[in-house]
Structure 1
Amino acid sequence: MATALFYASSTGNTEEVAHKIADKLNGIDIFNISDKSIENINSYDNLIIGTPTWGEGDLQDDWDEKWEEFCALDLSNKTIALFGLGDQDSYGDEFCDALGIMYEQIKKAGANIIGFTSIEGYEHEYSKAQIDDEFVGLVIDEDNQDDLTDERIENWTDQIKNDIL
């Protein structure tokens, strides 16, 4: 079962996190969607999808540009883990909302979604990426908690690797 990580990044933070995740999972294929067709997703059984939240709770520009094409994909036979980046201090009322938007679409498409994480250790008011006391994937705040990034990636990749590799 082939696994790939697809991400988009505006400032470089999501790209850096994507490469750290890929390294922890022994060099899985990794693609910046600004450079690849969304249809490349069809070549993989297992996916890791990453997005930062942009503006006031929006999808990052590259995801936004390819959103209709992404929404048309058949994801029903895929296992997908998600990760997102956000700023809980400056955008605490829409923290990692793009991750929640991505989750809703992937859930609607019928994929098996793995890699939920605890909200413990975060301070935010609201997030579309939160269901009860969990996030729908790995959540990283490089602006305020960059000292926790490596540990969070390590714990999350340990959690998902048996289901995604």
Structure 2
Amino acid sequence: MKKTIVVYGSSTGTCEELAGKIATALGLDDSAVINVSELTPDMISENEALILGSATWGCGELQDDWYDGVKVLQSADLNGKIVALFGCGDSESYGDTFCDAIGLLYQEIKDKGCTLAGSGISTDGYLHTDSVALDAEGNFLGLALDEVNQPELTDSRIAAWVEQIAPALQ
């Protein structure tokens, strides 16, 4: 497997927990799970693959620690790296900005020479009305999770997504 880190931004612990579940499903140990507040350019350069995740806050914003994390991404060389995105949100209360953080992270990496893995996720079964995390075909750019309204679907969604990205990480 390519050397991989799972980077998350979490204020309440939900995205941190999801990052841990994703890492476990990929067979990564705890040291591969990094809080974005601790992310450095060296960590990025030392890894071949990055799995980036953020909770969506307010009206479609990145989790606070990601604002400095975005600066680290902007200064890093992502050329040739594999990047996969995940996020969590509340699809009922914030249905028009559900998991927008995925789309915001995508905007930061899309022109950096990396390959996006784990996109094209169908929106079937989700409760949202809109999101900037959707591609031109209306599919999610990464794994969108709703621990508030659909926690019973989290494990199966993670398993399916990990199966999708695993070949890119080999």
What's the TM-score bracket when you normalise by the shorter of the two chains? Answer: over 0.9
Q: Hey, what's the Cα distance between the residues in 2 that align with 1:112 and 1:94? A: 25
TM-score if structure 2 supplies the norm length? 0.92
Shift of 1:35: 3.0
Partner of 1:155: 160
State whether residues 88 and 122 of structure 1, in contact with CA within 8 Å, keep that contact through their aligned partners in structure 2: yes
Offset at residue 162 of structure 1 (A): 1.5
Distance 1:62 1:136 in 2: 21
- d(CA) in 2 for partners of 1:76 and 1:148? 34
Cα distance in 1 between the residues matched to 2:68 and 2:84: 22
**Are 1:16 and 2:7 an aligned pair?**
no
Instruction: Show the counterpart of 1:142.
Output: 147
Q: Distance in 2 between matches of 1:142 and 1:46?
A: 26
Q: Which runs of 4+ in 1 moved over 4 A?
A: none
In the superposition, relative to structure 1, how do residues 147 and 38 fare at CA in structure 2: closer, same or farther (>3 Å)?
farther
Q: Does the aligned pair in 2 maintain the 1:47–1:164 contact within 8 Å?
A: no
Amino acid in structure 2 at the alignment position of 1:136: L
RMSD over aligned CA atoms reads 1.3
Aligned length, in residue pairs? 165
Q: Which has the higher strand share?
A: 1
Identify unmatched segments of 5+ residues in structure 1: none
State the TM-score, normalized to the length of structure 1: 0.94
Q: 1:86–1:142: 8 Å Cα contact kept in structure 2?
A: yes
Could you say if the C-alpha distance between residues 133 and 85 of structure 1 is closer, same or farther in structure 2, counting changes exceeding 3 Å?
Answer: same
Percentage identity across paired residues of the two chains: 44
Q: Does residue 32 of the first structure (1) align with residue 30 of the second (2)?
A: no
Structure 1 residue 72: Cα displacement: 1.9
CA distance in 2, matches of 1:156, 1:37: 26
- Partner residue in 2 for 1:127: 131
> Which one-letter code corresponds to 2:166 in the other structure?
K
Q: Matches of 1:5 and 1:47 in 2, distance apart?
A: 6
Aligned pairs for 1:1-165 within 5 A: 1-28=2-29, 29-116=32-119, 117-131=121-135, 132-165=137-170
Extract unaligned runs of 5+ from structure 2.
none
